[in-house]
C-alpha cells in the first residue's frame, strides 16, 4: 500500500511540475538541461506525448529519459547541429526512423564530420542496416519551437507546427508544387517525409 501511495505521489509531482521556459531557445546539445529537452520533445506531439518514451541528448548521443507506454517516441531531432526539430514518432517511425536519429547523434558525439555522417547513413540504407518505413504513419511536429534549415534561403528559419507522413523515395514531382501542395523533405531518399501544415498553424 505504501508503495502505491509513493508511486501515485511521484506521478502527481511529475504531472504538476512547472514546464521550463522555452522562449528564445533555438538550439540544443548535450549541455542543454534535461527538463528543457523533455519539455521541447513533448511539445512536438500534445496528443501522444504524455505516454511516449522520451530521449534527450547526452555526451554520447541520445539517452532515455522516460519509458513509454503508447508506442510513440519523442525527442529533439537535429538535421544540422544548428537546427531544433522536436518530433514524436509513431510505432513505425520508432522502429525505422528513430534508430537513424540515434546513429547520427552518436556519430556527432565522436566528432564525425557532417558530410561523412550523411554518407554513412546512405550506406546504412543500402546495406540494410537501416530500413525505410514499411507502412503509412506520421510524425508529430506540432511544436512552436521548430527551427529548421531552409535549403532555398540557405539559413535556419522558424517553421510552424506541422505533421509529417512517411514517403520513402518520394519527390516533389510526385505530389505537385505550388500553393496547397505538401512539401517533401529529403526527396528521393529512403527517409523522405511529406510535410502538411494544418491551416491553424499556417496562419499563426
Task: Read off the C-alpha cell for 122.
Answer: 546512405
Backbone angles phi, psi at 57, to 5 degrees: -80, 135
Expressed in angstroms, the distance from the first to the final Cα of the chain is 49
Average pLDDT rounded to a whole number, residues 85-91: 98
pLDDT exceeds 80 at position 19: no
Give percent of the chain with pLDDT exceeding 70: 88
pLDDT exceeds 80 at position 16: no
DSSP character string of 17-65:
SPPPP-TT-----TTS-HHHHHHHHHHT-TTTGGGSEEEEEETTEEEEE
Task: Check residue 173 and give its pLDDT.
Answer: 94
pLDDT exceeds 50 at position 4: no
Instruction: Give 97-152 pLDDT, tens digit per residue.
Output: 999 999 999 999 999 999 999 999 999 999 999 999 999 999 999 999 999 999 88
CA distance 145 to 142: 9
Task: Check residue 202 and give its pLDDT.
Answer: 53
CA distance 79 to 93: 16
| Domain locations in the chain as residue ranges | 25-202
3-class SS at 114? helix
- For residues 99 and 17, the model is more confident at 99
Task: Read off the C-alpha cell for 167.
Answer: 514517403
Q: What is the DSSP letter of 82?
A: T
Candidates 33, 31, 35; CA nearest to 59 is 31
Angle at 27 between CA 25 and CA 30, to 5 degrees: 115
Q: Are 57 and 30 in contact (CB under 8 A)?
A: yes
What is the residue whose three cell numbers read 522555452? 22
**Helix residue ranges per DSSP H, 61-113:** 91-96, 98-109
pTM of the model: 0.84
CA distance 27 to 32: 9
Amino acid at each position: 500500500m505504501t508503495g502505491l501511495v509513493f508511486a501515485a505521489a511521484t506521478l502527481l509531482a511529475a504531472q504538476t511540475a512547472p514546464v521550463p521556459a522555452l522562449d528564445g531557445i533555438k538550439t540544443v546539445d548535450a549541455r542543454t538541461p534535461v527538463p528543457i529537452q523533455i519539455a521541447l520533445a513533448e511539445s512536438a506531439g500534445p496528443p501522444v506525448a504524455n505516454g511516449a518514451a522520451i530521449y534527450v541528448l547526452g555526451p554520447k548521443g541520445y539517452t532515455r529519459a522516460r519509458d513509454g507506454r503508447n508506442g510513440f517516441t519523442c525527442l529533439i531531432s537535429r538535421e544540422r547541429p544548428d537546427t531544433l526539430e522536436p518530433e514524436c514518432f509513431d510505432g513505425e517511425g520508432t522502429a525505422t526512423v528513430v534508430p537513424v536519429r540515434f546513429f547520427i547523434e552518436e556519430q556527432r558525439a565522436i566528432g564525425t564530420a557532417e558530410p561523412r555522417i550523411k554518407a554513412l547513413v546512405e550506406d546504412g540504407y543500402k546495406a540494410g542496416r537501416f530500413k525505410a518505413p514499411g507502412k503509412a504513419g506520421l510524425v508529430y511536429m506540432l511544436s512552436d519551437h521548430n527551427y529548421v534549415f531552409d535549403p532555398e534561403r540557405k539559413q535556419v528559419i522558424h517553421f510552424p507546427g506541422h505533421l509529417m507522413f512517411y514517403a520513402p523515395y518520394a519527390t516533389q514531382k510526385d505530389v505537385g508544387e505550388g500553393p496547397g501542395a505538401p512539401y517533401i523533405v529529403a526527396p528521393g531518399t529512403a527517409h523522405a517525409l511529406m510535410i502538411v501544415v494544418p491551416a491553424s498553424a499556417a496562419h499563426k
